[in-house]
Amino acid sequence: MSRNEDKLSRRRLQTSTVTTIISISLVLFMLGLLGLIVLHAKKLSDYVKENIGFSVIIKEEIKEPGILEFQKMLDLEPFVKSTEYITREQAAEELTKDLGEDFVGFLGYNPLLASIDIRLNAEYANNDSLKMLEKRLLTNRIVKEVFYHKSLVDLVNQNIRRISIVLLAFSLVLLLISVALINNTIRLSVYSKRFIIKSMLLVGATQRFVRRPFLLKSLLHGLLSALIAIVLLGVVLWFSRKALPELVDLQDIDMFLSLFGIVSLLGLLITGISTLFAVRRFIRISNDRLY
Is residue 6 pLDDT above 60, yes or no?
no
Better-predicted residue by pLDDT, 249 or 127: 127
Torsion (CA) 120, 124, 127, 131 in degrees, nearest 10: -80
Cβ atoms of residues 133 and 79 within 8 Å: yes
Enter the DSSP assignment of 108. S
pTM: 0.66
Which pLDDT tens digit goes with each residue over 65-105? 888 888 898 888 888 888 888 888 887 787 777 777 776 67
What pLDDT score does 65 carry? Answer: 86
Which of helix, strand or coil describes residue 158?
A: helix
Domains of the chain, with CATH numbers?
A: 2-47+156-290 (no CATH), 53-147 (3.30.70.3040)
What are 98-153's pLDDT values in tens digits? 777 776 676 776 777 888 888 888 888 887 888 888 888 888 888 888 887 777 77
User: What's the CA gap between 33 and 245, in Å, rounded?
Assistant: 18
1: pLDDT strictly greater than 50: no
pLDDT of residue 227: 92
d(CA 163, CA 158): 9
Segment 16-60, tens digit of pLDDT: 677 778 888 888 888 888 888 877 777 777 777 777 778 888 888
Give the mean model confidence (pLDDT) for residues 173-185: 79
What is the spatial distance between Cα 251 and Cα 184, in angstroms, rounded to a whole number? Answer: 35
Q: pLDDT (tens digit, 9 = 90+) per residue, 204-216?
A: 777 777 778 888 8
**138 CB contacts (<8 Å, ≥6 apart)?**
145, 146
The listed range with the strongest mean pLDDT (220-229, 244-253, 269-278) is 220-229
Q: 7: pLDDT confidence band, cut at 50, 70 and 90?
A: low
The secondary structure of residue 153, as a DSSP letter, is H
